[in-house]
Structure 1
Amino acid sequence: MVQFEAVLFDCDGVLVDSEPITNGVLRQMLGEAGWALSQAECERIFIGKAVRDERARIEQETGQPLTEAWMLAFYVRRDERLRAELKNVAGALEAVIAAHGHTAGRIACASGADKAKVVMQIQMAGMAPYFEDRIFSGHDLQRSKPAPDVYLVAAAHVGVPPARCLVIEDTATGAQAGLAAGATVWGYCPQGHGHAFQGLGVARVFEHMDALTAALNHKTSHGNLI
């Protein structure tokens, strides 16, 4: 039987399938600035991080400063694509509802992305009634993931010690943040590549959101928790 007092979700790649969209826009704009990247390279460098976290490398590869104007243009193009194409991760809404019921509403979203994007995506996903104002961004803090700050803030807001929180992450960077906060971390790995979490201390790896829903509802999982 699984029992946690709070569940803290990452957003991109956990609640919504936004990463291919965001990274597609980023790859295109970096190419326009002179840094040609394959899709795999772009994902490897940027997934789980804020674009600004790679400022030094972007400026080195493009030979141009990473200006606020460039970032704003990226946000505009990214959000246009997200509004047109964003889909939920399969089963994520049901998992959020299960977590909300399991914890009597003590759930939160703790993301490394900018808050406006996270709020927009949660609204589009039909999850806003469950998260309400419990949406947090590493952009608003001194340090973002893999530092634990955003998870510490989320846990404090719901009034639960991190040791009694379950964190759901899909990247090693995010998992490191949850673990550093002192939470139990489960890794969502829809492609079955659980090796991304090896050696990190992630308690469980699962491939389907219905496995999380089943665990929180104390039912037999249809998608095995590994």
Structure 2
Amino acid sequence: MSFQAILFDCDGVLVDSEGITNRIIWQYMNEHGWYVSEAECYDIFLGKTVRSETALIEANLGRSIDDTWMQEFYRRRNIALLEELTAIEDSHLAVQAAYGACQGNIACASAADLHKVCMQLDKVQLKPFFKAVLSGHNCPRNKPYPDVYWAAAQALNADIAQCLIIEDSVTGIQAGVAAGATVWAYLPENSHFNAETLQLNGAKKIFSSMKNLEQLIHEHFSF
């Protein structure tokens, strides 16, 4: 099967950011009066943005939140990411394989804010590989809606039905399937999800490492 482009999610796929971000969310919520556990934060926010859960946050804090509140969260999160962030093991190999296989026609399409996505890709030296980097914050709707993947395909001048999407969360898989693309799911040993859940949401292949993804690209596809 041929694909015109490969579209990568960022957090949890290319960079090992989710544990760092979740710790900051947990600390920030508790500081402001929502005494949620770190594990509960993971359940609530994994694969989502903090802003997308505004109603839930406000209900638990008992007050509204504004841009100033969000900007302080972003500031703390970005400091932690800049200090601690690393690439997912072998993600460079997978991205390089994708880049070569489709002659550079690859994009990163994330639900996170664009500053965060670019900052992270720059830190792990992956940004130069991507022809386009897009954020769901800049689309009419964010994941699990398909808008950011439609925008990514358009940026690469590719038919979304001929795009391969690499995701790791239910929210992201739902977005890719809704877009009309083929979705493969990264499921490492420490994943919050399981293979059955990811497959039920539309993942066509499950792989356990970025080395596996590199091999799949080389073995199964002709671009």
1:114-125 aligned at under 5 Å gives the runs: 114-125=113-124
Aligned residues: 217
Q: Is 2:171 aligned against 1:173?
A: yes
- Report deviation, 1:66: 1.5
Q: Is 2:145 aligned against 1:144?
A: no
Alpha-carbon distance in 2 for matches of 1:72, 1:124: 21
Q: Is 2:201 aligned against 1:200?
A: yes
Unaligned runs of 5+ residues in structure 1 are 220-226
* Aligned residue type for 1:204: K
Whether the aligned pair in 2 keeps the contact of 1:171 and 1:196 (CA below 8 Å) is: no
- Alignment counterpart, residue 155 of structure 1, candidates 145, 153, 157: 153
Give structure 1 regions of 4+ aligned residues with deviation exceeding 4 angstroms. Answer: none
- Report deviation, 1:106: 0.6
- Report deviation, 1:198: 3.4
- Report deviation, 1:157: 0.8
Task: Give TM-score, length-normalised by structure 2.
Answer: 0.94
Partner in structure 2 of residue 76 of structure 1? 75
Partner in structure 2 of residue 60 of structure 1? 59
Alpha-carbon distance in 2 for matches of 1:38, 1:203: 33
Alpha-carbon distance in 1 for matches of 2:65, 2:9: 26
Partner in structure 2 of residue 104 of structure 1? 103
- Report deviation, 1:40: 1.8
- Report deviation, 1:201: 2.0
Alpha-carbon distance in 2 for matches of 1:207, 1:172: 16
Partner in structure 1 of residue 211 of structure 2? 210
Unaligned runs of 5+ residues in structure 2 are none
* Aligned residue type for 2:90: G
- Report deviation, 1:196: 3.0
* Aligned residue type for 2:73: F
- Report deviation, 1:14: 0.3
1:181-196 aligned at under 5 Å gives the runs: 181-191=179-189, 193-196=194-197
> Please, what is the CA RMSD of the aligned residues?
1.2
Alpha-carbon distance in 2 for matches of 1:186, 1:118: 21
Identity of aligned residues (%): 47
Partner in structure 1 of residue 18 of structure 2? 19
Using the TM superposition, name which of 118-127 and 192-201 deviates more: 192-201
* Aligned residue type for 1:212: L
